[in-house]
Structure 1
């Protein structure tokens, strides 16, 4: 299967080698497989809570990526477990990737990961499919810093890709000021669509997100 534009953009954010990369809610495993081929980590971990997905993924990976060893650590591993219970390794740089799930679920997963690894600095790449504003609010409350953010279009939908760190970096914006190219008509259309969504949600009231995005639109 061909890597989508969205997954390719996430993969391109991985510009250095990590000790461990955790491809969470990995589904088909295309992203993690690409990172294994690029030797982006000592070990790429594929994590999903559905046994059938994990079994099929392990068979597929074994066929396309021979199960070889890099030092004392396998180049890839499949874990059938709840992402919210993930415990990171105690040494080396760690990158956790969560893509293709809603923002609300992403928040729940992050609460678990942060709780299980309270004194461990690691990086995150997130690409939620909904509730981006709410996710950004949560990240801001946890003082998770921004490394990079971008807006990617795929099949007439827009996806926000957030590269973050639990170590000190620039604070994250609740509306993502750094990713917008407001001279781009497609970005303008996505912003207008986002504002309309929060107008519908708020009814007779005004949602804080609506005000925040309107301020960005009028800047």
Structure 2
């Protein structure tokens, strides 16, 4: 199945194979399946907390597991589990993907994941549905650095796609450095974000509002 623009953008980020890739909150497993068939991991793990989703996905993967691009049999596992309590493999080369859920839930899942795997080094791709500012602040407190970041427009919705590692060189910021206001999509997303925080600032100023207004007022820095 063809991936949505959001999932395709995540798929294109993975250019080097991992030992393990964990597709968390995997829903129908479209992203993990593409990574599996491209041979981007020795094992792709599909993780969801809904048992019916996990059972359906396991049935599909069992029926349809053709050779990968490297002509090897794909390896996969389905886990019906809470991502926050997930124990990763004892491997140095692994990637965790959390996409399609809100920023607050992403923070909850990553809090548990980082605590339960504190001794492991793993990369993270996160693409929240909303509350990006709060998620970025959380990630900064966990000393995660930026491999890359981008804005994705998909079905008239906007997403921030963050590729992270503790050993990357670029510092993560609360609003991001990926803005290009010459692009209509970026300008629309910024306008929508400012309107959101203006509404939230009616009773009490929200710190995100002034941060995003600076981007609008100083387009040369974007």
How does the TM-score come out when normalised to structure 2? Answer: 0.93
Equivalent-residue separation in structure 2 for 1:152 and 1:137 (angstroms): 20
1:134-183 CA distances to partner (integer Å, 9 max, x unpaired)? 00000011110000001111111111110001235321110012x21111
Q: How does 1:30-179 map to 2 (within 5 A)?
A: 30-66=30-66, 75-177=75-177, 179=178
Would you identify which runs of 4 or more consecutive aligned residues in structure 1 move more than 2 Å?
Answer: 166-169
Note the C-alpha offset of 1:204.
3.7
Count of residue pairs the alignment pairs up? 215
Note the C-alpha offset of 1:92.
3.4
Equivalent-residue separation in structure 2 for 1:4 and 1:64 (angstroms): 21
Instruction: Determine if contact 1:122/1:167 at 8 Å carries over to the other structure.
Output: no
Instruction: Determine if contact 1:83/1:113 at 8 Å carries over to the other structure.
Output: yes
Matched, 1:208 2:207: yes
SS in 2 for 1:77: strand
Residue aligning to 2:191: 192
Q: Which runs of 5+ in 1 are unaligned?
A: none
Note the C-alpha offset of 1:74.
6.4
Note the C-alpha offset of 1:2.
2.3
Equivalent-residue separation in structure 2 for 1:113 and 1:197 (angstroms): 29
Equivalent-residue separation in structure 2 for 1:37 and 1:147 (angstroms): 24
Instruction: Determine if contact 2:147/2:168 at 8 Å carries over to the other structure.
Output: no
Instruction: Determine if contact 2:92/2:121 at 8 Å carries over to the other structure.
Output: no
Equivalent-residue separation in structure 1 for 2:169 and 2:100 (angstroms): 25
Q: Which runs of 5+ in 2 are unaligned?
A: none
1:41-82 CA distances to partner (integer Å, 9 max, x unpaired)? 0000000111100000001111221599x9xx9611101111
Residue aligning to 1:180: 179
Note the C-alpha offset of 1:120.
1.3
SS in 2 for 1:171: coil
RMSD (Å), alpha carbons: 1.7
Instruction: Determine if contact 1:21/1:45 at 8 Å carries over to the other structure.
Output: yes
Equivalent-residue separation in structure 1 for 2:137 and 2:188 (angstroms): 23
